[in-house]
């Protein structure tokens, strides 16, 4: 049985700190981020150790040194070891990619909360993550080590990610694409690259994509190679096609339904996203992909949206809306406003007059 983020939170809430947890899943699904967010909200420090990157036990337990008082060998505490006696959450990532000699040092840690004879602060937790899949170079885990963990196969749902993406201000074009194409959140394929260099999307790569495209109000073929290197060329092509249509879809929803239902969502949008919506609304009007019977509702909602920009302190976006029309890129939109939305047309005229 697989668990999602909500179920994982419940497990973390009800598992004593003395019991170890192991999460099994693919890379890039957000294991470390979810744990860091959960424990940070509780005021607990998370220390992440990438065991697959450690070349020998010294990377984990510290380097040996001679104790001048006893003449015996001690181990210098590693950089991450808590010195304030405050409990920590030790996240052992890539456990089944660690070298066998590194895994041996984990045995005492998971059983006794000790590392080279030094105890972790009381209340410290140990959580590990292992990769699942034939594409990884993995180390077989000792059954005695495995038996010291409560094991859960973790697969956060698409809805889990969408909730996180909205809170984390992931580019709305990506959120819309994943809503309509959930199969591309964690998987995909790419062709034409050297062996073992195929790019496919995962949650981590979508976040990187968001960081790059946020600076572009409109996506063109110029940015497509840039994004292809992150999520793969096949998925990038689908995403760009969807992004071009998405402005129309979002605008249609806002203009053809009850405007008041959109207030909560609009309040979550920053200036950059509202400017994208400005463009989308005019693109939708320009496309004329609406019924004549909807013109009155479109006119009413468009004016309500324009008023919302002012009421919510986004007067500069009213100016942006007007500048798009003035650029003569949307003649059908200007014609619609001047003939079907006289109230809005008057407000635009007054806006220009007061500039």
pLDDT tens sequence across 294-335:
899 999 999 999 999 999 999 999 999 999 888 778 899 999
Q: Where does the pLDDT of residue 337 fall: very low under 50, low under 70, confident under 90, or very high at 90 and above?
A: very high
Q: List phi, psi (to 5°) of 163.
A: -60, -45
* Tokens read off for 199: 């790019």
Closest listed residue to residue 205, CA positions, set 222, 188, 181: 188
Phi, psi for residue 156 in degrees, rounded to 5 = -60, 140
Write down the pLDDT at residue 188: 47
Count other Cβ atoms within 10 Å, centred on residue 112. 11
**Dist CA 63 CA 78 (whole Å):** 8
In this model, does residue 245 exceed pLDDT 90? no
> Would the pTM of this model clear 0.95, i.e. be above it?
no
CA–CA distance, 355 with 172 (Å, rounded to integer): 31
Q: What are phi and psi of 93, to 5 degrees?
A: -85, 150
Alpha carbon distance 108, 50 (integer Å): 18
Portion of the chain with pLDDT greater than 90, in percent: 32
| First-to-final CA distance of the chain | 62
Sign of CA dihedral 306, 307, 310, 314: negative
Does position 85 have pLDDT exceeding 70, yes or no?
A: yes
- Residue 221 half-sphere exposure toward CB, CA atoms < 13 A: 0
CA gap 33, 105 in Å, rounded = 25
Using the predicted structure, report yes or no on whether residue 190 has a pLDDT greater than 50. Answer: no
């Amino acid at each position: 049985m697989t668990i999602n983020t909500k179920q994982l939170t419940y497990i973390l809430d009800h598992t004593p700190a003395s019991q170890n947890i192991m999460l099994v899943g693919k890379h890039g699904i957000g294991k470390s981020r979810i744990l860091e967010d959960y424990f940070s909200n509780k005021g607990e420090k998370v220390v992440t150790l990438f065991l697959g990157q450690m070349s020998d036990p010294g990377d984990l337990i510290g380097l040996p040194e001679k104790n001048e008082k006893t003449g015996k060998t001690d181990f210098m505490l590693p950089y991450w070891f808590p010195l304030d006696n405050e409990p920590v959450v030790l996240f052992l990532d890539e456990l089944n990619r660690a070298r066998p000699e590194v895994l041996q040092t984990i045995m005492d840690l998971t059983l006794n909360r000790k590392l080279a004879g030094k105890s972790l602060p009381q209340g410290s937790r140990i959580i590990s993550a292992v990769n699942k899949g034939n594409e990884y170079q993995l180390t077989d885990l000792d059954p005695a080590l495995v038996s010291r963990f409560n094991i859960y196969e973790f697969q956060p749902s698409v809805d889990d990610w969408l909730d996180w993406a909205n809170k984390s201000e992931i580019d709305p074009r990506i959120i819309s694409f994943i809503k309509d194409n959930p199969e591309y959140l964690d998987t995909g394929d790419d062709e034409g690259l050297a062996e073992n260099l195929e790019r496919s999307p995962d949650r981590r790569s979508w976040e990187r994509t968001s960081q790059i495209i946020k600076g572009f109000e409109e996506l063109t073929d110029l940015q497509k190679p840039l994004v292809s290197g992150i999520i793969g060329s096949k998925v990038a092509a689908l995403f760009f096609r969807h992004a071009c249509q998405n402005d129309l879809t979002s605008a249609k929803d806002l203009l053809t339904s009850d405007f008041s239902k959109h207030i909560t969502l609009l309040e979550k949008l920053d200036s950059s996203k509202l400017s994208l919506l400005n463009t989308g609304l005019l693109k939708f009007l320009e496309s004329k992909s609406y019924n004549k019977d909807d013109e009155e509702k479109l006119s009413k909602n468009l004016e309500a949206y324009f008023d919302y920009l002012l009421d919510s302190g986004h007067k500069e976006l009213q100016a942006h809306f007007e500048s798009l029309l003035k650029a003569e890129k949307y003649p059908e939109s200007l014609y619609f406003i001047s003939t079907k939305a006289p109230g809005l047309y008057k407000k635009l005229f007054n806006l220009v007059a007061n500039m």
